[in-house]
């Protein structure tokens, strides 16, 4: 079955129970977000630390049990809280994969590269003989630009960039259609970042992959993404085509994020004005009423405190959740 979208997410909520003294209160890590990804597309997901980006990625892959909402992958409903659909993920593990943020802790230090990349093959029994397994692993290593001679080495013998390539090879082993990239370059040097980002792009072209690319570096996200989604405190604030969002941000939060991006030209930089946000991000345990951003928003009105603004289309798929803009 195929549909227009490879992944559709509707009203996804992910609450974690947190002990607060004797009471257990829900921590609303992801609160009512909706988005969709077309085949072969990259959706960038940005937002500051702790806003629930990683949780979104992990919930999509069902590493966490979603609280409510609906997830549709490639026409198949994986989770639907209303109709009580909750399918077994095992067959979908072959189609959805993840690249992790920390190249140091995401590889088992007691396993050789061959075993790390070979594990998905073992689990899904994707080979008929030892030789075929080895050949597949070597092919994967060459795909991500690793030296095939290094197959018998351990992860700690590699640099950060090489380790991230091992992680990517592991994700590619099952030949997935969709990969969640959870800040795959933020732990790397700038020069290595470029190499890895370009590799993601090349792989996408070769294999027709779709990405959910999570990052906090706006420039990296702009470079790789077709569309960008902005999150704040578990809520989706704005989604738009990559260039549209960069040139014409509507939500005040997106505007302030973009104004914080360093401009490499001092002349332009002097002329540009930074929008500096006041105050801290509120605790997700004590969410402000209405719009979560209103405590730091300079346009905030009474309406913002009363009601959460609806996520509406402002033309050409540019979706924004704001009363005033």
What is the binding site for another protein (CB under 8 A)? 58, 61, 63, 89-90, 93-94, 97-98, 100-102, 105-112, 119-120, 123-124, 149, 152-154, 157, 167, 170, 174
Task: Please say which residue, 87 or 111, places its beta carbon nearer to another protein.
Answer: 111
Give the span between the Cα atoms of 317 and 249, in whole angstroms. Answer: 13
Task: Please say which residue, 14 or 106, places its beta carbon nearer to another protein.
Answer: 106
| Shortest reach from residue 56's CB to another protein, in Å | 15
Walk across the sheet containing 85-86 and list its strands: 23-37, 7-20, 68-73, 76-80, 85-86
| Shortest reach from residue 63's CB to another protein, in Å | 6
| Shortest reach from residue 158's CB to another protein, in Å | 11
| Shortest reach from residue 123's CB to another protein, in Å | 5
Task: Please say which residue, 89 or 261, places its beta carbon nearer to another protein.
Answer: 89
| Shortest reach from residue 142's CB to another protein, in Å | 18
Task: Please say which residue, 19 or 205, places its beta carbon nearer to another protein.
Answer: 19
Do the beta carbons of residue 322 and residue 250 sit within 8 Å? yes
| Shortest reach from residue 132's CB to another protein, in Å | 19
Tell me the two tokens of residue 161.
């960039």
Task: Please say which residue, 173 or 233, places its beta carbon nearer to another protein.
Answer: 173
- Which candidate, 133, 129, 110, 113, places its Cα nearest to that of 121? 133
Do the beta carbons of residue 169 and residue 144 sit within 8 Å? yes
Q: How many CB atoms lie within 10 A of CB 257?
A: 23
Task: Please say which residue, 101 or 225, places its beta carbon nearer to another protein.
Answer: 101
- Beta pairing class for 76-80 and 42-46: unpaired
């Amino acid at each position: 079955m195929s549909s227009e979208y490879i992944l559709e997410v509707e009203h996804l909520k992910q609450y974690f129970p947190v002990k607060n003294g004797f009471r257990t209160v829900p921590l609303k890590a992801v609160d009512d977000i909706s988005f969709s990804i077309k085949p072969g597309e990259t959706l960038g997901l940005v937002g500051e630390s702790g806003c629930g980006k990683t949780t979104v990625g992990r919930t999509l892959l069902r590493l966490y049990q979603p609280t409510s909402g609906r997830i549709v992958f490639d026409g198949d409903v994986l989770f639907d809280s209303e109709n009580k659909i909750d399918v077994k993920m095992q067959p979908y593990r072959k189609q959805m994969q993840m690249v992790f943020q920390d190249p140091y802790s995401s590889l088992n230090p007691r396993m050789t590269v061959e075993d790390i990349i070979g594990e998905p093959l073992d689990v899904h029994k994707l080979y008929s003989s030892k030789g075929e397994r080895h050949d597949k692993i070597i092919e994967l290593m060459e795909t991500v630009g690793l030296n095939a001679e290094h197959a018998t080495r351990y992860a700690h013998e590699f640099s950060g960039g090489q380790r991230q390539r091992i992680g990517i090879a592991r994700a590619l082993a099952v030949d997935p259609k969709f990969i969640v990239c959870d800040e795959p370059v933020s732990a790397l040097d700038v020069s290595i970042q470029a190499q890895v980002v370009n590799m993601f792009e090349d792989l996408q072209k070769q294999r027709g992959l779709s990405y959910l690319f999570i990052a906090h570096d706006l420039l990296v996200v702009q470079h790789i993404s077709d569309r960008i989604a902005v999150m704040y405190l578990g809520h989706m604030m704005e989604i738009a085509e990559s260039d549209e969002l960069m040139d014409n941000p509507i939500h005040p939060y997106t505007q302030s994020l973009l104004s914080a991006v360093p401009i490499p030209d001092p002349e332009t930089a002097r002329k540009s004005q930074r929008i500096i946000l006041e105050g801290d991000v509120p605790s997700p345990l004590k969410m402000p009423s209405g719009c979560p951003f209103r405590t730091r928003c300079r346009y905030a009105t009474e309406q913002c405190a009363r009601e959460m603004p609806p996520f509406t289309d402002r033309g050409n798929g540019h979706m924004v959740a704001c009363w005033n803009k």
